[in-house]
A and B are shown apart, each in its own frame.
Chain A
């Protein structure tokens, strides 16, 4: 360090070029190592602990304000909330009554076909930290990390449907890439007819697209789009969105299909990290083709 601060009495820094070259080479080296090898994942995980105080310091005033606003709500507002939640709970329980029976039936049918099903095993809830990661990419920072067992590629849901997947894991935080990020793709299925395709993000939080459907494909506005579970990254059967618009140009071979995401990508605060139950039965003879963009969640523990 002392050698690096070589200054002559006039205050002119000497060896500026040398230091510039040294630091640049260091940065270049870091980039190459980070890109080529996975060794830096561990270092990065701990570096993220170093910047954690800054993140908490920035996010906490907003959380404090939320807390303050919640604690001064009136009795009437709370009662209205309670009534609404009770009504929702009743409805949810009503639906759940049938769910157990349906799940058992589904297991039985799958057993008949000797196929295996990914059933979600357990999940934990994480809170989105109120921080801006990168203005040009659809990513959020969540307050759960390697410490809680989060791994890269893990599926993330919110109360409406699929939210995204884990892109990077720190010790205490992790970075989730949204469905709508232009670099994100997820294997899906149209619920009405089982048509399989891939939903790709557009960079716009309210829009996904299905770019690989031929003009003749049987898809209409209003169709529910679910995860297909192919590729193994996401659990099957969770809502991704509904088809908003189908444009068919006879001159083109592919239709333009837009999907409105089911998850509240721009409003959710709480997210669920899902663990898939390990496949118990033997694998089917031919493994399903893996879509290139949806990486199967490598176990990174």
Chain B
């Protein structure tokens, strides 16, 4: 069924599950506002690295899981994650040859886009969140990127 290059799904699923758990892990209040969107960064990584293993289906269902866990309107995170995952997949050949700094900046732009979609839907559904700390998550997420590339790269190559 599969062609000569087997698509390894296990690392994708495993890392996504861990990221999902990290997304709901209780943290002290001080660290809480610094929590990056773990799952989003992981989905972005797989979109860039191996879109055939996860791709948009992964993005959509990961987003749906976040919707259910966060108790927001169904489809909010799913839409945001699908959009930026598609964007990342579109850019992936370029992202791979970028220097690490440029990669981080690109990821920052993508994460900001993600937060913007969430922000927009929050407003449209009538529960706006106006705290500034929401825009901190993309910064932390972008700083997480080199770490993730190192970590998941090992997992992927094995």
Contact = CB atoms under 8 A, between A and B. Distances in A.
B75 interface: yes
A133 interface: yes
B127 interface: yes
A124 interface: no
A29 B75 contact: yes
B70 A20 contact: no
B83 interface: yes
Contacts of A130: 26
B79 A24 contact: yes
A34 interface: yes
Contacts of B86: 16-17, 19-20
A40 interface: yes
Interface in B94-129: 121, 125, 127, 129
B52 A58 contact: no
A28 B75 CA distance: 6
Nearest to A266: B29
Contact of A16 (B17, B25, B90): B90
B68 A51 contact: yes
B14 to A, nearest CB: 13
A20 B79 contact: no
B74 interface: yes
Contacts of B73: 31, 34-35
A40 B68 CA distance: 12
B75 A135 contact: no
Interface residues of B, number: 44
Interface string A2-44: 0011010001010011011001101111110111000010001
A27 B32 CA distance: 28
Nearest to A183: B127
A7 B51 CA distance: 10
B110 to A, nearest CB: 14
Contacts of A5: 52, 55
A27 B71 contact: no
A4 B51 CA distance: 12
A132 interface: yes
Per DSSP, chain A at the interface is helix
Contact of A20 (B26, B68, B83, B129): B83
Nearest to A205: B29
Nearest to B131: A136
Contact of A57 (B21, B26, B27, B63): B21
B56 A20 contact: yes
B78 interface: yes
B82 A23 contact: yes
Most buried by A among B27, B78, B83: B78
A146 interface: no
Contact of B78 (A30, A48, A58, A132): A30
A96 interface: no
* Top 6 A-B pairs, shortest CB-CB distance: A30-B75, A27-B79, A20-B86, A31-B75, A27-B75, A27-B78
Interface of B: 5, 17, 20-21, 24-27, 32-33, 35, 51-52, 55-57, 59-60, 63-65, 68-76, 78-79, 82-83, 86, 89-90, 121, 125, 127, 129, 131, 133-134
22 contacts: A4-B56, A13-B51, A16-B86, A17-B86, A23-B57, A23-B82, A24-B79, A27-B60, A27-B76, A31-B79, A47-B64, A47-B74, A50-B65, A51-B68, A54-B17, A54-B20, A55-B69, A130-B26, A132-B26, A135-B33, A137-B127, A175-B71
Given A20-B83, A54-B69, A132-B35, 9 more contacts: A1-B57, A5-B55, A13-B52, A23-B56, A23-B59, A23-B82, A58-B26, A135-B35, A175-B71
